[in-house]
DNA sequence: TAAAAACTACGAATAATTTCGTAAATCATA
DNA sequence: TATGATTTACGAAATTATTCGTAGTTTTTA
């Protein structure tokens, strides 16, 4: 699976949350966070299409872009890479460190416990 | 906190696991995984020193390099960035996705549960 | 102590990523 | 239908990251 660059990831994030979108929409969204020219966003999305990260369909004058890979698959691949480079391949170490140093509400802890029960039990 | 590049992270990883080391030691270790010239590693470590990622002390002919920031602090900062870009700031989402898609032994699950108990209970 | 070996400094080439200007095409509307 | 607004294509500049060669210094050892 192709590794998106930092900027590409921003764009994927927007497409995941907003669904298939035009360059205009993505650029507007990006512009909320930082200054970025329209053609910059356009070029990036064209490159992502070449790389196979995005596909697009024509809609009159515009192109509507959408990610090729599923959000979950992409995120899992990224977690895997992250774990491999930083945590020596151990997902547990990542989880421990993430849990150990971030605020979590009781509800969130409950959800995690539930997930663990499922993994332990086979069925919940 | 400065964000290390991919290559810089490799070097940090080696220094974390082997302790303060010379360029030679780091380069030998890197070379186990891929071809890399000695002066490449040297230059990288010099740049990292300029950036403030590493410090070094002179030891006769050599320099001995070591990370400025603690391993845990660096990893936490990286997790934070990862969470912010990919999981919308939610550590729980990262944990859920990491747990949901990676093999974990019962022992590991037990360790995680223990950590959760501590977080819930205040004291264990 | 002279030659060889190992090390540092540093400039610069290469590669990857991000940015944007310009030209041409498409579409809306005056 | 022609003017203006929006979009696409594309080359190339700017920036950042990686790689390495060469020169000069220090240390080892024959």
- Are B85 and A9 in contact, with CB atoms under 8 Å apart? yes
User: In 10 A of CB A117, how many CB atoms?
Assistant: 13
Q: What does the pLDDT read at residue B123?
A: 52
Q: pLDDT, tens digit, for every residue of A32-87?
A: 999 999 999 999 999 999 999 999 999 989 999 999 999 999 999 999 999 998 99
* Rounded mean pLDDT, B9-23: 97
Q: pLDDT, tens digit, for every residue of A75-124?
A: 999 999 999 989 999 999 999 999 998 989 999 999 999 999 999 876 54
Q: Please tell me whether residues A83 and A58 are part of one structural domain.
A: no
Q: What does the pLDDT read at residue B1?
A: 87
Measured to protein CB atoms, the chain C nucleotides within 7 Å are: 6-12, 16-22, 26-28
**CA dihedral over B3, B7, B12, B17, signed as positive or negative:** positive
Q: Please tell me whether residues B49 and B91 are part of one structural domain.
A: no
CATH number at residue A45: 1.10.10.10
Q: Nearest CA to the C1' of C26 belongs to which residue? A: A61
Confidence category of residue B124, pLDDT binned at 50, 70, 90: very low
H or E stretch including A66?
strand A62-67
Q: Please tell me whether residues A87 and A58 are part of one structural domain.
A: no
Q: What does the pLDDT read at residue A123?
A: 52
CA of A48 to C1' of D7 (A): 18
A1 part of a folded domain? no
B1 part of a folded domain? no
Spatial neighbors of B24 by CB under 8 A, at least 6 apart, are B38, B62
CB burial string A37-60: b at 16+ within 10 A, e below: eeeebbebbbebeeeebbebeeee
CB burial string B51-85: b at 16+ within 10 A, e below: eebbebeeeeeebebebebeeeebbbbbbbebbee
CA of A97 to C1' of C17 (A): 31
Please state whether strand C lies within 7 Å of residue B7 at its CB atom.
no
Q: Which two tokens stand for residue B40?
A: 């490449």
Measured to protein CB atoms, the chain D nucleotides within 7 Å are: 6-12, 16-22, 26-28
Domain count, chain A: 2
Q: Please tell me whether residues A63 and A85 are part of one structural domain.
A: no
Give how far A95 is from chain B: nearest CA, Å. 5
Final residue of a structural domain among B67, B85, B104: B67
Range of the domain at A60: 6-67
Please state whether strand D lies within 7 Å of residue B60 at its CB atom.
yes
A84 part of a folded domain? yes
H or E stretch including B59?
strand B54-59
């Amino acid at each position: 699976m192709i590794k998106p660059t930092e900027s590409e990831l921003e764009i994927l994030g927007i497409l995941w949350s907003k669904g298939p979108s035009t360059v205009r929409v993505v650029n507007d969204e990006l512009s909320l966070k930082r200054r970025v020219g329209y053609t910059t966003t356009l070029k990036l999305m064209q490159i992502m299409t070449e790389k196979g990260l995005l596909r697009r369909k024509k809609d009159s004058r515009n192109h509507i872009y959408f990610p090729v890979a599923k959000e979950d698959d992409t995120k899992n691949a990224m977690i895997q890479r992250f774990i491999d480079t930083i945590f020596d391949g151990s997902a547990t170490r990542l989880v421990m460190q993430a849990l150990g140093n971030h605020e979590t509400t009781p509800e969130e802890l409950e959800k995690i416990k539930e997930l663990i029960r499922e993994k332990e039990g086979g069925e919940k």
